[in-house]
Structure 1
């Protein structure tokens, strides 16, 4: 019976530099040519047990091994490491490099060139990554406007960064590209946003000329009993606006939604429900329906939308 090859513990799951492993006597060049190892980048390998081609974290680990001093994982990849998944797991790793360093282009790496202050780089699980404030700063100024608001909302909602922290970082930062947009993004940011699609729905309303809705509004009946929490609301008109994701199709969730909808209607609330298709492909329908609902509801109620 052939003997099973022993895999050094240091190389069992995480990417590693082949040259260092060979110099340490853990492997030989001949062993690396076998099926047990996968080449990720020049001089960077991973054992077959740790190879997951669509795992963004694995690629972050691999790319980090190639970064020079002063470089860091940034942008959406940094947000991913901070626990905010804004990208497809197959997306390339975003890094920022000092302007004087020019590596060869890599399929799995997207590079930006500028010098980061030392205080903007920290370590996460031993990886160099932009700080939460710097990550939000870059995403808010460099992504397209809607995606920028989605990113900042998600970072705020996960409590990776706070509005005042980001505002303070922006105020102290010297002028650079995208600052004007970031100010607009901060004005639109909503820490209570429940999901990226809820952020997109909210922006459809605001960009359609409607007042900013209240996020995660709690509705109570005339006795003060909690009835439900709605994604977005205009309390003075008792209009609730809900984003319906795929999870609402599950039987248990569907039953809960029906019961909650009936309770909201009993309290005099109008509930408008929209899907991803509405938000992404037919925003004009959303704007028209909500404008119509506001017109039909007329003036604000005396209660100002407090309990039902």
Structure 2
């Protein structure tokens, strides 16, 4: 096979079509102290894509403080204080851990995007679907990462984002909708909390809910267009209505412009249940 040069001192087979990890791996082996970090680590860990500033497609490589930044075409070099347990080796690739990557992203990302990623890390998975039972991180682990690096750029944003993170969000749109509600002055919703009828029977766990006003909020992604899912959604709404709960259904089209239409739709349901904006002031 013919070798082609992809960076100084790095060759690959011409016929190969390397994925991101294969492209990054040799750059982390140039010296024993290199680690994929920042946006590159986020992509390797499959973090949710930021809405306001998508992940940089250049390769981000960190070296310890005091060393020279890597300077190569298509590479963004960083000098960072990396502790031994803040890097992981995945298939021979040295990459910053998920918690450290989240903190590094605070240098450039907006708070809402940091909250989305924090919710993703904190979410308790469903083993039958995901093959894992533990979250990627706990709130205590993220907080410990913040305490380790006082004075780090983006630290204040990361602290604010962690304060806004909630356990239970199943998708980025759910997190963004919750944050949009808070920003608009609406009551903060519960996240995936089971709702019950007057007899105490559990109905289901809506994506978001406002128990005081008996409002269930469901974000319906593409899977809700499936015929069987449509039937289940109708039955779910009927059960909620029978228990005197109103269901507000939100789709992607409601989420444009900072979820303005979604917030308006929820506010209408709240006002019908007796809520007033001045009550939240």
Range that drifts further, 152-161 or 76-85: 76-85
Is contact 2:191–2:208 with CA below 8 Å preserved after alignment?
Answer: yes
Is contact 1:70–1:116 with CA below 8 Å preserved after alignment?
Answer: no
Distance of 1:274 and 1:169 partners within structure 2: 35
| Bigger radius of gyration among the two | 1
Choose the corresponding residue for 2:182, options 171, 182, 206.
206
Which residues of structure 1 form unaligned runs of 5+? 1-30, 300-308
Which residues of structure 2 form unaligned runs of 5+? 126-134, 276-281
Q: Which secondary structure state, in structure 2, belongs to the residue aligned with residue 233 of structure 1? A: strand
Is contact 1:241–1:272 with CA below 8 Å preserved after alignment?
Answer: yes
The alpha-carbon deviation at position 89 of structure 1 amounts to: 9.8
How many residues matched?
A: 261
The alpha-carbon deviation at position 296 of structure 1 amounts to: 1.9
TM-score, normalised to structure 2, is 0.80
2:278 corresponding residue in structure 1: none
TM-score, normalised to structure 1, is 0.74
Superposition map of 1:1-308 within 5 A: 31-32=1-2, 37=3, 39-47=5-13, 50-52=16-18, 55-66=19-30, 68-82=31-45, 84=47, 86=49, 91-98=57-64, 100-107=67-74, 109-140=75-106, 142-157=108-123, 159-281=135-257, 283-298=259-274
The alpha-carbon deviation at position 206 of structure 1 amounts to: 0.9
Distance of 1:290 and 1:185 partners within structure 2: 24
Q: Which secondary structure state, in structure 1, belongs to the residue aligned with residue 68 of structure 2? A: coil
Aligned-residue RMSD, C-alpha: 2.7
Is contact 1:56–1:91 with CA below 8 Å preserved after alignment?
Answer: no
Q: Which secondary structure state, in structure 1, belongs to the residue aligned with residue 229 of structure 2? A: helix
The alpha-carbon deviation at position 187 of structure 1 amounts to: 0.8
Q: Which secondary structure state, in structure 1, belongs to the residue aligned with residue 255 of structure 2? A: helix
1:248-301 per-position Cα deviation (integer Å, ceiling 9, x unaligned): 1122222211111111111111111222232233623222332232222127xx
1:6 corresponding residue in structure 2: none
The alpha-carbon deviation at position 165 of structure 1 amounts to: 1.3
1:200-242 per-position Cα deviation (integer Å, ceiling 9, x unaligned): 1111111111222111121233344332221111111111112
The alpha-carbon deviation at position 80 of structure 1 amounts to: 4.1
Q: Which secondary structure state, in structure 2, belongs to the residue aligned with residue 169 of structure 1? A: helix
